[in-house]
C-alpha cells in the first residue's frame, strides 16, 4: 500500500532504524499483534489471553491465531459472552497477580462491560491507594464497512478518554501495534487498546525481537510547516495520503500520530501548532464530546496564541453508523475530506 512506503520514508527514527537494521521484516498487521502476544506469553507466565473466539480458527482476525496450540487452553481460552463479568474476572485475576488480556472483536461489546471498566478497573488503584495493581489489557477492533451498521462499528475512544485511571491506546501501524501492545501488557494499570479493522490491511516492517513503545509519546509521521493534522489510529493513514496530495498542491502539512490518547502527548501537538499556526484534528469517533473536542480544548487553552486561524475538526457526524454503503460514504471521513478541510485555511 502506498502509505506504508510513506510511513517508512517519513516516520523518523524507530522504524527507519529497524528497517535498516537486522531482524526486521515485512509482516501483516495481525501478525505483528500476534507476535506481541506470543512473545509476551513466552516471556511472562502471568500473561494469559481470554475472549470469545480467541482459540477459534479465525483467531481474532489472526491476532491470536493458534496461540492456544502453543500455550494451551489454560492460558489462551474462549469465554462466555458475559462481557461485564468477564471484565471483572480479568480484573480479579490481575489483582491476584496475573496479567490478563481480554480480547473483543468489537468495541461495541465493551459497552456491556462499562460497569467493570469504569466503576471498577479504572478506579481500583486509586480507591485503594495503590495497594493493588491492575495490569489488565482490554483489546478490541473497530469494525467498518459492509453494512456493519450502528452496533458493530462504533469508535468509542471518546468515552474511554473521559475516564480517569484508564490508559487508551490507538495504534496505526504494524510496528506500533506490536510495540504498544508490549507496553500495555507490561503496564501495571488497565489499558484499553482500540484497533481499527482497516489497519489490518497493512503490512509493515516489524522487528522480530521484543520491543516496546512508550505511552504518551506521539510521533511526527510527516513534517510540514503550513498546517498540523493530528489524530490516531486508521485516520492517520488517511491523513498521510492527504498530506501527500497537499504537498502536490504546495501545502506543507505536518502529520502527528498520537499513538496513545491517554496519556496524551500535549507537547507534540503544541510544538507543531506553534510552528504551523493551523490545526486540523481528525478522529474516527463522533464529534460531540469526543477526541477532537478534547484536543481542540487543549490547544485553545494552551496554544491559542499560536493559532493563525480557528481550529478545524474532522470526525464522524453525530449519528449512529448507517448500514447502506451510500450513507456510509457520507459517514466516514477520508483523505479527500482532510484535503478539503485543509484547503479552507488557504
Partner 1 sequence: MGPGLFDTGNNRKICVDVMRNYNIPKHKLIELYILMSKIRMTELKIEELYPNEEMKTPVHLCVGQEAIAAAISANLNKDDYCISNHRGHGHYIAKGGDLKAMIAELYCKETGCSKGRGGSMHLVDLRVGLLGSSSIVGGGIPIAVGVALAVNMRHEKRVSVVFFGDAATEEGIFYESVNFAVLKKLPVVFICENNFYSVLSHQKARQAFDNIYNRLEGCGIPGYRVDGCDAVDAYNTAKSCIQNARNGKGPSLIEARAYRWRGHAGPGSDYHLGARPKKDLDDWIRKCPLKKLKNFMLKNKIVTDRKLDLIETPLKKEVEDAFRFAQKSPLPNKEEISKYLYC
Residue 87 touching partner 1 (CB under 8 A):
yes
Query: Which residue of 134, 140, 142, 206 would you call a contact of partner 1, by CB under 8 A?
Result: 134
Query: How many Cβ atoms from other residues are within 10 Å of residue 336's Cβ?
Result: 12
Query: Which residue of 15, 65, 91, 236 would you call a contact of partner 1, by CB under 8 A?
Result: 91
Dist. CA 290–CA 17, nearest whole Å = 35
The answer to whether residues 134 and 125 touch, using CB atoms and an 8 Å cutoff, is yes
Beta carbon nearer to partner 1, 15 or 261: 261
Dist. CA 224–CA 327, nearest whole Å = 33
Beta carbon nearer to partner 1, 98 or 307: 98
The answer to whether residues 315 and 298 touch, using CB atoms and an 8 Å cutoff, is no
Q: How far is the CB of 71 from partner 1 (least distance, A)?
A: 12
Tell me the site size for partner 1, rule CB under 8 A: 42
Residue 73 touching partner 1 (CB under 8 A):
no
The answer to whether residues 236 and 172 touch, using CB atoms and an 8 Å cutoff, is yes
Identify whether 152 is a catalytic site residue: yes
Residue 165 touching partner 1 (CB under 8 A):
yes
Task: Tell me the CB-side half-sphere exposure of residue 277, using CA atoms within 13 A.
Answer: 6
Query: Which residue of 116, 172, 276, 321 would you call a contact of partner 1, by CB under 8 A?
Result: 116
Positive/negative CA dihedral, 232, 326, 330, 238: positive
Query: Which residue of 16, 44, 188, 266 would you call a contact of partner 1, by CB under 8 A?
Result: 188
Dist. CA 277–CA 162, nearest whole Å = 27
Residue 39 touching partner 1 (CB under 8 A):
no
Residues 68, 104, 120, 152: which is the catalytic one? Answer: 152
Beta carbon nearer to partner 1, 15 or 163: 163
Which alpha helices (DSSP H) does the chain contain, by range? 2-10, 13-20, 29-43, 67-71, 83-95, 114, 122-127, 157-161, 174-186, 234-248, 266-276, 291-302, 325-331, 335-343
Beta carbon nearer to partner 1, 168 or 230: 168
* Site residues (vs partner 1, CB under 8 A): 48, 74-75, 79-80, 82, 84-98, 100, 115-116, 119-120, 124-134, 164-165, 167, 188-189
Amino acid at each position: 500500500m502506498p502509505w506504508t512506503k510513506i510511513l517508512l520514508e517519513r516516520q523518523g527514527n524507530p522504524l527507519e532504524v529497524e528497517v535498516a537494521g537486522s531482524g526486521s521484516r515485512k509482516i501483516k498487521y495481525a501478525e505483528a499483534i500476534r507476535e506481541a502476544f506470543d512473545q509476551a506469553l513466552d516471556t511472562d507466565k502471568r500473561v494469559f489471553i481470554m475472549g470469545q473466539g480467541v482459540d477459534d480458527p479465525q483467531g481474532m482476525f489472526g491476532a491470536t491465531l493458534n496461540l492456544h496450540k502453543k500455550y494451551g487452553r489454560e492460558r489462551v481460552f474462549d469465554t462466555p459472552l458475559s462481557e461485564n463479568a468477564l471484565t471483572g474476572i480479568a480484573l480479579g485475576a490481575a489483582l491476584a497477580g496475573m496479567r490478563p488480556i481480554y480480547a473483543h472483536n468489537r468495541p461495541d461489546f465493551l459497552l456491556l462491560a462499562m460497569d467493570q471498566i469504569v466503576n471498577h478497573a479504572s478506579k481500583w488503584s486509586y480507591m485503594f491507594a495503590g495497594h493493588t495493581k491492575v495490569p489488565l489489557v482490554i483489546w478490541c477492533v473497530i469494525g467498518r464497512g459492509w453494512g456493519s451498521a450502528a452496533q458493530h462499528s462504533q469508535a468509542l475512544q471518546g468515552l474511554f478518554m473521559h475516564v480517569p485511571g484508564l490508559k487508551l491506546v490507538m495504534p496505526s501501524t504494524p510496528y506500533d501495534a506490536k510495540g504498544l501492545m508490549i507496553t500495555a501488557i507490561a503496564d501495571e494499570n488497565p489499558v484499553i487498546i482500540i484497533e481499527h479493522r482497516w489497519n489490518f490491511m497493512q503490512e509493515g516492517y516489524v522487528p522480530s525481537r521484543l520491543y516496546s513503545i512508550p505511552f504518551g509519546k506521539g510521533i511526527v509521521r510527516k513534517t510540514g510547516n503550513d498546517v498540523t493534522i493530528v489524530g490516531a489510529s486508521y485516520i492517520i493513514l488517511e491523513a498521510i495520503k492527504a498530506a501527500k496530495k497537499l504537498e502536490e498542491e504546495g501545502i506543507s502539512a505536518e502529520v502527528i500520530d498520537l499513538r496513545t490518547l491517554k496519556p496524551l502527548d500535549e507537547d507534540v501537538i503544541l510544538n507543531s501548532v506553534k510552528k504551523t499556526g493551523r490545526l486540523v484534528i481528525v478522529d474516527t469517533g463522533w464529534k460531540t464530546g469526543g477526541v477532537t473536542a478534547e484536543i481542540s480544548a487543549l490547544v485553545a487553552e494552551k496554544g491559542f496564541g499560536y493559532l493563525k486561524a480557528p481550529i478545524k475538526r474532522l470526525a464522524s457526524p453525530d449519528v449512529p453508523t448507517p448500514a447502506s454503503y451510500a450513507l456510509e460514504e457520507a459517514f466516514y471521513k477520508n483523505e479527500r475530506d482532510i484535503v478539503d478541510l485543509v484547503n479552507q485555511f488557504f
